[in-house]
Amino acid sequence: MVKEKRDYHKFAWQDLGDLEKGRPNLGANVPVLAYRLLQYTLRDAMISELGVDKADELFIRAGRLAGVQFCRNLLDRDAAFQEFTAQLQRVLREQAIGILRIEEADQENMRFTLTVAEDLDCSGMPCTDEVVCKYDEGFLAGILEEYTGKPFVAKEIDCWASGDRVCRFEVRGHR
């Protein structure tokens, strides 16, 4: 077996496979427990090997890549902003990722404040006094980047794990 070597992103939506064919009995849905078990053990292993900053950077990069692919494959990038955000809210809910609310939207300056309730990553977790949704930061930025064609940075400012009951993100575009 040849060891894979590359320094670029290879992931594409079709790499997720044919879930109907591959999981005819169990289906496409998986419990939040399984998702979090993967995410938090992977993050823990990465932190022990690379440190917190590098692990967070990699989670943000992975989330960004996922957000771009999510937008390309599940959302209408040609829709007007109001239609796009309504569709994003609906699809995030249908996929049981979370309940998105747009608290503030300054389209002209590409600045947004978004909340995600019942989010996949941390809702219901014990309070650790930290924000933990680094993957979501990248995911939201990737979705908006793919939609607008401009780079975005998302920063979580409130989190269930820090004692809040929703995750709140400040999202900024760069011209």
Q: How does pLDDT run across 86-127, given as a tens digit for each residue?
A: 999 999 999 999 999 999 999 999 999 999 999 999 999 998
> What pLDDT score was predicted for residue 175?
62
Q: Mean pLDDT score of the chain, rounded to an integer?
A: 93
Torsion of the alpha carbons at 169, 62, 160 and 111, rounded to the nearest 10:
0
> What pLDDT score was predicted for residue 19?
87
* Contact status, residue 100 vs residue 89, Cβ threshold 8 Å: yes
> What pLDDT score was predicted for residue 8?
73
Q: Which residues of the chain have pLDDT under 70?
A: 175
Residues 54, 58, 63, 64: is their CA dihedral positive or negative? Answer: positive
Q: Which CATH architecture has domain 28-173?
A: 2-Layer Sandwich (3.30)
Domain locations in the chain as residue ranges: 28-173
| Measured distance between the N- and C-terminal CA atoms of the chain, rounded to whole angstroms | 45
